[in-house]
Amino acid sequence: MEGSLVSVLIYGMVNSAVLMLTSLGFSLTFGLSGVANFAHGGLYLVAGYMTWIFMHNMGLPFLPAALFSIVIVGLIGAVIYRLILMPVRGIVLSEVIATFAVGVAILEFFRWRGFVTYEFNLPPFLKGGIAIAGVNVDYQRILIIVIGTGLAAFLWFFSHHTKTGLALRGMAQDEYTALSLGIESDWAAGLSLALGSALAAVAALVILPLGLISINIGYDVLLIALAVSVLGGLESTAGLIVASLILGYAVVATSTYLGPQWSEVVYLAAIVLGLAIKPSGLFGKFKELEERV
């Protein structure tokens, strides 16, 4: 039982980092422009498949292929904003339905093109592994923790200490005041969508090497992003981290002790209970009265 507890502790940490990376992009876009980008899962998989195509059909090495995909997915995010979201900006229902439909269209397109076999996988950055307290952890998983922590720190710095970040947050807090200070709404929202999409791509490239790329990952990613963002609250890096830790450990603990079929229940229950009991999330500071309730 001792070994199992240690492995729960270690893999819970890894899983928390995975969850945080996965939901960073969604949470950033949601927090900065108020757009719930339901195409997040689709963009995540686009990054994975695009890198695979670059590597296998064009013969690029992994790193340039990955960089290209991140940039292109970021651009796709901006294009989605310009073409689809801008005309319906402010109508929450239309935003959600439109992005959700884009996501489903992307995922089902890949399914139709036959991107479902076992050949689709990405190479890990680092091979090999290390034993921590008798539990084997490969380097890729440690890398996920490092990159996840690094990105979260970078984003916190970006949104609190750079002009662009502050402008985006100002837009999220009060659109009209921000407008009167010369921050352009469409620029800010487009940028936040591009950033969020690029982050989805980064997450995909770091996490996908752990296993095969499959279509259903896209739907799972959306679910995870929703659960973490709902539980953690918006515009709060601390909320994101705490929610990832709670969910990460909860999922690993339930799948170790109860069985893997319970892991998805954890995410769904987090969304339902989170919204029912504390709609503003664990760390959400404002917007509770205005938007959620």
Partner 1 sequence: MAKTAYRKERVDRGIKARTDDIFALSSFREILYLVLPRLLVILFLLPLPLFLGTYWQKVMLITLIIALLAVSWDLLASVGLVSLGQALFFGVGGYLAGFFSTRWGWPPLFTIPAATLTGAVFCTLLLYPVLRLRGIYFGLITFALPLLFMRVIEATKILGGTEGLSSLPPLPEITVELYILIVVALGCVFGFRRMFDTDYGLVLKALRDNDRSVEAGGINVQWYKAQAVFLAALPAAFAGAFLTHHYQFVGMPAFALDYSILPLTSAILGGIGSFAGAMLGAFILVPLSEVLRAFGTLRVVIYSVVLVIFVVGLPEGIFHYLQRKYHQFERLVPMEEVSDGARADLKG
Residue 79 engages partner 1 in binding (rule: CB under 8 A): no
- Give the Cα separation of 88 and 208 in Å (integer): 33
Per-residue three-class SS string for 75-90: HHHHHHHHHHHHHHCC
Distance CA 215, CA 197 (A): 18
Residue 291 contacts partner 1 per CB under 8 A: yes
Residue 90 found at the interface with partner 1 (CB under 8 A): no
Tokens encoding 206: 């770091």
Residue 92 found at the interface with partner 1 (CB under 8 A)? yes
Contact pick of 75, 97, 133, 181 for partner 1 (by CB under 8 A) = 97
CB of 284 to partner 1, least distance (A): 11
**292 lies in the binding site for partner 1 (CB under 8 A):** yes
Is 268 one of the binding residues for partner 1 (CB under 8 A)?
yes
Task: Catalogue the E-assigned strands of the chain.
Answer: 129-132, 135-138
- Determine which residue in the list 53, 60, 212, 271 makes contact with partner 1, applying CB under 8 A: 271
DSSP letters for 232-271: H-SS-HHHHHHHHHHHHHHHHHHHHHT-GGGHHHHHHHHH
Q: At what angle do helices 263-277 and 237-257 cross, to 10 degrees?
A: 140
**In whole angstroms, what is the distance from residue 78 CA to residue 191 CA?**
7
Residues 6+ apart with CB under 8 A from 84: 98, 99, 102
Q: Contacts with partner 1 in 194-213 (CB under 8 A)?
A: none
132 binds partner 1 (CB under 8 A): no
153 binds partner 1 (CB under 8 A): no
Interface residue with partner 1 among 60, 111, 156, 170 (CB under 8 A) is 111
Of 160 and 285, which has the nearer Cβ to partner 1? 285
| 55 vs 270 by CB, closer to partner 1 | 270
Q: Residue 283: phi, psi to the nearest 5? A: -120, 10
Binding residues for partner 1 (CB under 8 A):
36, 83-84, 87-88, 91-94, 96-98, 100-102, 104-105, 108-109, 111-112, 223, 226, 230, 258-259, 261-262, 264-265, 268-269, 271-272, 275-276, 279, 291-293
